[in-house]
Amino acid sequence: MVSRYRGKIMIKNSNSLLDIHRYSLDTLNDLYHSLTKLYDEDKRSLQAIVIFLKKVIQEDTEIKLIIEEMDKKEGIKAQKSKLKIEKIAETWLKKAYFQHLYHKYSIIRGYFTNFTKEIIQPKSREGKDKLKRTSIYYFDRYNDKYKKKLKRCRSNERVLELQKKYPKLNIVDAFAFGLIIEKFATTNEDLEWFENIVQILIKRRE
């Protein structure tokens, strides 16, 4: 098994339960009947196993959060399938950070929870409560991630040096947004490419 470092966290090239094949319900029912023949166990225990697998495959929000915590302890990361609400949080916050950097708007969690409520429109009280908890979880997760990127960018010596070369431009926040939307990293090569873009932008058309 090959491992690689991302910052201070070691991520192993290993599959998470979240990467399990999307078996059909008929196949899972067949699994249950096969298990009852193989093992002389309490049927309730076997049912619980199959129900758990169904929830994993159906991307149940609460089960996904539990498995993500397990993955963190094991130092592994799921290779596929973000929940719809997670994708919404990631995209919404990227757009919100553009407004924050460009217009100085505040990023407010309540706006996001209202947004997800309008988009997903849960019917039951339980569904509304579950959506709110999940929305808050992913908002905080990605907001913290992007705040750290912004902070690192604003204190990065190479980015600050580039800002000095172009004092009339907001280099720092522009590059920070590039980090947030994952188009750039704070490497010498990416800073060079970014400066090339800046040079094209400020060059007068002939």
Cα angle 68, 148, 118; round to 5: 60
Each residue of 81-98: pLDDT tens digit? 567 888 899 999 999 999
104-142: per-residue pLDDT in tens?
999 999 999 999 999 999 889 999 999 999 999 999 999
Query: Dihedrals φ, ψ of 107, to 5°?
Result: -100, 110
Condensed to tens digits (0 to 9), the pLDDT of residues 33-85 reads 888 888 876 788 888 888 888 888 887 888 888 888 888 888 877 765 567 88
Per-residue DSSP letters for 143-198? HHHHHHHHHHHHT-HHHHHHHHH-TTS-HHHHHHHHHHTTS--SSHHHHHHHHHHH
pLDDT for 173 beyond 90: yes
Distance of CA 192 to the CA centre of its chain: 28
Q: Which residue is listed with tokens 């929000």?
A: 61
- Please report the pLDDT score of residue 14 as a whole number: 62
Tell me if 97 sits within 8 A of 175, measured CB to CB.
no
- Tokens standing for residue 75: 């130092």
Q: Which amino acid is at 92?
A: W
Decide if pLDDT at 8 tops 60. Answer: no
Distance between CA atoms of residues 176 and 78, nearest Å: 27
d(C-alpha 21, C-alpha 73), whole Å: 22
Q: Which 8-state DSSP code applies to residue 76?
A: B
